[in-house]
Amino acid sequence: MSQTFTHLISDCDGVLLDTEAIAFEVLQRELAASLPGIDVAAAILPRLGLTLDALLADIARHHPLSLSASDIEQLRDTVEGEVAERLQLIPGVAAAMAAVPLPRAVVSNSAGHRVRAALDKTGLAPLFAGRVFCADEVGAAKPDPALYLAASQAFGVAPQHCLVVEDSVTGVRAAVAAGMTVLGFTGAGHVADGQADKLLACGACTTFDDMQRLPELVALLCQHHKQ
């Protein structure tokens, strides 16, 4: 095969930082009163990975959810505040990322200022050398592939030379649409049963639930595609 992988792109929430479980918990609590009689957890979980606005809009298409603009901003502040306060790394992620001998970037649907602050606070920022691409700055959010295409363009490489680590269906769809190969990560705190199958179904080439395996998986894929 002539294709080789030369760069690694990672999602942030649920791959680098175990934040999705916190966001999930806060959203369940805050939306319970607005969705009486609804299984709020079941409404939120499959939509994690979307921006908050997209998540709420999609829930509202299927359930009687009505929130004002000020309600949404207050909810955003609450989620972001609790996530920042309780921030923690995915176990083993710093060593795993450092052990992958490829240039790295972060792509996220979260706000750029929040992602950069979190990377700084957790000590991950140097691993990505300022290469952070976020929906509010690029002007498009996953599942649109534009975020991933912006990252590959900044690297100066074709999308097919980029490996991606994603934890959500939304993210996998975005990376696949960009023409990239995706590793699906299922080791974060929010992951429900059957998530690995969902990631594979929307295009991930494999899944893993222990971040320590990342360097090995990247090496195997790079070796395979050099043959």
Strand positions, DSSP E, 115-222: 132-134, 162-166, 181-185, 206-208
Q: Which residues contact 130 (CB under 8 A, 6 or more apart)?
A: none
> Coil, strand, or helix at residue 129?
coil
- Cα separation, 185 vs 165, in Å, equals 7
**Catalytic choice (13, 18, 144, 167):** 13
**Catalytic choice (11, 18, 144, 167):** 11
Residue 202 identity: C
- Cα separation, 163 vs 161, in Å, equals 7
Known catalytic membership, residue 11: yes
Q: Does 145 sit behind a cis peptide bond, omega within 30 degrees of 0 on the bond before it?
A: no
Contact indicator for 50, 169 with CB cutoff of 8 Å: no
Active site residues per annotation:
11, 13
